[in-house]
């Protein structure tokens, strides 16, 4: 994402609470981690940086679920919204994930189901089976680039937020986001919006279609060689598509 700075803009990539160099709270109660917390955090960040008057908002995966929530809570200052590889509801996400799971080899499907039913998703066998799905639908650059590996290593080392809100894997969602949906509120968004995804993405077209269908004027782009991380899998094309959209809506935006 930092490559978007190539045309002179500032790119702010912050560590959310519970991640990276931000404060970790492994003992916080489960209900502490909710969408409202992260909406407030983002507004705190842009206020502290002095860019709240005008900024582009881009979210990838969970970030693309959070970004429309930020706009719905308070659209002030948002010059544009870019949603990358993100569902409009977890119901849609799980429907697509289950369909993609059925395309995995039989032994892989069996291992995933066996461990999920037994509650043993922390075993090496489950991790190996999970990786088959990830190599197809999360990041098709194998071995994963260092920044991608580092992200997964961080989740493994300190899984509090991911496990509490999502669950043990991308497709076994049993956390607090299990019932999340923004579908019925999307017609209230009135900022320029771009939706992107990969052709092999776990975020299949039906997962992100409501953004395009319900946000007035929203546009979409699918990267033909990518799965869930086009910014890693097709970085030049990603920067070209997203960068062009940002430049189109730069007028008056902080750079």
pLDDT at 255: 47
**Token code pair at residue 197:** 């995804």
pLDDT in tens, 137-183: 999 999 999 999 999 999 999 999 999 999 999 988 999 999 999 99
Which of these, 96, 122, 100, 118, lies nearest to 109 by C-alpha position? 100
Q: Indicate which residue of 56, 61, 80, 85 is catalytic.
A: 61
* Res 254 pLDDT > 80: no
Is 221 a known active-site residue? no
pLDDT at 171: 87
- Note the pTM of the prediction, 2 decimals: 0.95
Mean pLDDT, the chain, rounded, equals: 96
pLDDT band per the 50, 70, 90 thresholds, residue 251: confident
Instruction: Taking residues 171-197, report their average pLDDT.
Output: 97
* Res 71 pLDDT > 70: yes
* Res 84 pLDDT > 50: yes
Work out the percent of the chain whose per-residue pLDDT is above 70.
Answer: 98
* Res 2 pLDDT > 50: yes
Place of tokens 């908002």: 57
pLDDT at 253: 52
| C-alpha dist (Å) from residue 7 to 46, 78, 135, 242 | 21, 19, 32, 12
**Token code pair at residue 9:** 């803009």
Instruction: Taking residues 106-134, report their average pLDDT.
Output: 96
pLDDT band per the 50, 70, 90 thresholds, residue 64: very high
Q: Indicate which residue of 172, 201, 226, 231 is catalytic.
A: 201
Instruction: Taking residues 227-240, report their average pLDDT.
Output: 98
In this structure, which CATH number among 3.90.1170.20, 3.40.640.10, 3.40.50.1820, 3.30.360.10 belongs to the domain 1-255?
3.40.50.1820
Is 201 a known active-site residue? yes
Kindly list the domain boundaries of the chain, sorted by start residue: 1-255
């Amino acid at each position: 994402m930092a490559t978007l700075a190539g045309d002179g803009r500032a790119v702010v990539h912050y560590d959310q609470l519970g991640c990276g160099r931000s404060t970790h709270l492994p003992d916080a109660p489960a209900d502490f981690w909710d969408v409202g917390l992260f909406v407030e955090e983002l507004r705190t960040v842009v206020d502290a940086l002095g860019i709240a008057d005008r900024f582009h908002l881009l979210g990838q995966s969970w970030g693309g679920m959070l970004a429309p929530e930020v706009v719905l809570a308070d659209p002030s200052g948002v010059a544009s919204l870019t949603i990358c590889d993100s569902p409009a509801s977890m119901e849609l996400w799980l429907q697509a994930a289950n369909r993609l799971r059925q395309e995995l080899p039989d032994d892989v499907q069996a291992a995933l189901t066996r461990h999920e039913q037994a509650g043993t998703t922390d075993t090496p066998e489950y991790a190996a089976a999970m990786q088959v799905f990830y190599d197809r639908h999360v990041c098709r650059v194998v071995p994963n680039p260092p920044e991608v590996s580092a992200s997964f290593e961080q989740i493994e080392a300190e899984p509090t937020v991911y496990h509490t809100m999502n669950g043990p894997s991308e497709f076994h969602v049993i956390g607090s986001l299990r019932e999340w949906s923004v579908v019925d509120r999307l017609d209230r968004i009135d900022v320029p919006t771009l939706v992107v995804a990969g052709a092999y993405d776990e975020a299949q077209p039906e997962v992100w279609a409501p953004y395009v269908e319900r946000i007035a004027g929203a546009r979409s782009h699918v990267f033909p060689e990518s799965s869930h991380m086009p910014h890693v899998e097709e970085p030049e094309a990603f920067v070209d598509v997203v960068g062009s959209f940002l430049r189109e809506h730069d007028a008056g935006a902080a750079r």
